[in-house]
Amino acid sequence: MRLLFEEQLLNEPPPADDSLARRYVRTCAGGALIGNVSTRMALLDTGTQQFPVSITEGLEPDGNCYVVSPQTAFSGYALEEIKRLGRPRLTWPLKVLTQGVQHMLRWARIDKLVQVNNWLLSTNLYPGDWDINELPAITALLQRTFPDHGFGFRSLNDFSNRPLRQRLENLGYLSIPTRQVYLFDGRAGAQAEFLNHHNTRLDATLLRRSPYEVVPGAALDDADFQRIEHLYNLLYLDKYSTLNPHYSAQWMQRGQREGWLEMRALRNSEGRIDGALGWFANAALISTPIVGYDTGLPQRAGLYRQLTRLCLQEAVERGVVLNFSSGAAGFKRLRGGQPQIEYSLIHVAHLSWGRRWVWRVLSQLLHGIGVPLMRRFKL
């Protein structure tokens, strides 16, 4: 079991059996292809699995993306979500509490953190064939290598990762609720329950009658990827939050070429791409870190509905679970999405008493206040 840092990988020729994880670490080394992500990358090779690893020091610029920065995830992003609730009598005390937590997290250097299996995506997927008996050795290696960092794992939910989460808790990792995601279980194929929902059937009809051509990623050129970056920015950065990852056209193109991202696009009769998505998948799960469409077009075009239908179809055809991330909760529930609380599991027992205390307070606040709010308001 060993860690290989990005500079080592860049200075050695790729092996004949180059893994997706190794390719990904080389692609993201230096951080140039994701605009607001500042992190050092490494590869964890357990002997049976390889995982990308992000390493932050807590000295990165403010606004570092939440995929590597818990400071942004638990304070900056939380403040934006509170604002969207639109209930001043409720949101004012939540805002004050979050601002207090923000100062506390900065004091505790919460961003001094190592995250295993971090693909710098909103949702990381874990291999179904991973022998979690490797976790004690991984924990020991990380504690030796990073004695002044917290370390852990993002994107765990009890539907997909219950044994992994329980094993980590038994090893002393702290459970930190992060958000509520929506899952569509496509393992039954054409018999998947969500296919029976009224809105799902309407979306199927819309896509079937659509004037758009569904274009596979292999058929996209440089200009198409530039357009897809623009569409992603319209939705995720302009409409939602600038704290979301700033994925570049080059990052998407490298992903399609290297095999860790699979693109689809909706091209109109004039040749213009008006919607696109990118899948990240393994043998048991699929997620969609890239979704974008022309938000200036009339809503009746149903571009987001068509893209959603493509995702549901893909889950059914592969016979896997679609993790459709968070956001647009009502839309996803109407199509049969099942909510699951997502967690980060963080090891802090080796840190100073003050830093451990802050992590534990954060865990208690999110379990006691964050999770009930997510469930009550169906976030």
Task: Please state the domain extents for the chain.
Answer: 2-181+341-376, 187-319
pLDDT tens, position by position, 205-236: 999 999 999 999 999 999 999 999 999 999 99
- Name the pLDDT band for 77 (thresholds 50, 70, 90): low
Q: Which residues pair with 184 in a beta bridge?
A: 322
Q: Torsion-angle region of residue 378: left (phi > 0), alpha (psi -120 to 50) or beta?
A: left
pLDDT for the residue numbered 74: 83
pLDDT for the residue numbered 85: 66
- Name the pLDDT band for 369 (thresholds 50, 70, 90): confident
pLDDT for the residue numbered 33: 95
pLDDT for the residue numbered 326: 93
In this structure, are residues 105 and 71 in contact, taking their beta carbons and an 8 Å threshold? yes
Q: Give the H/E segment covering residue 57.
A: strand 50-57
* Model confidence at 306: pLDDT above 70: yes
pLDDT for the residue numbered 78: 67
* Model confidence at 76: pLDDT above 80: no
Arithmetic mean of pLDDT, 50-64: 92
Q: Label residues 95-115 b or e (16+ Cβ within 10 Å = b).
A: beebeebbebbeebbbbbbbb
Q: What's the CA gap between 336 and 166, in Å, rounded?
A: 27
Q: Which residues contact 89 (CB under 8 A, 6 or more apart)?
A: none
Single-letter residue type at 88: P
State the average pLDDT for the chain: 93
* Model confidence at 275: pLDDT above 80: yes
| Burial group, residue 197, by CB count within 10 angstroms (0-12, 13-18, 19+) | middle
Return the minimum-mean-pLDDT range out of 69-78, 87-96, 213-222, 369-378: 87-96
CATH 3.40.50.920 correct for 187-319:
no
* Model confidence at 334: pLDDT above 70: yes
pLDDT tens, position by position, 338-366: 999 999 999 999 999 999 999 999 999 89
* Model confidence at 98: pLDDT above 80: no
pLDDT for the residue numbered 341: 98
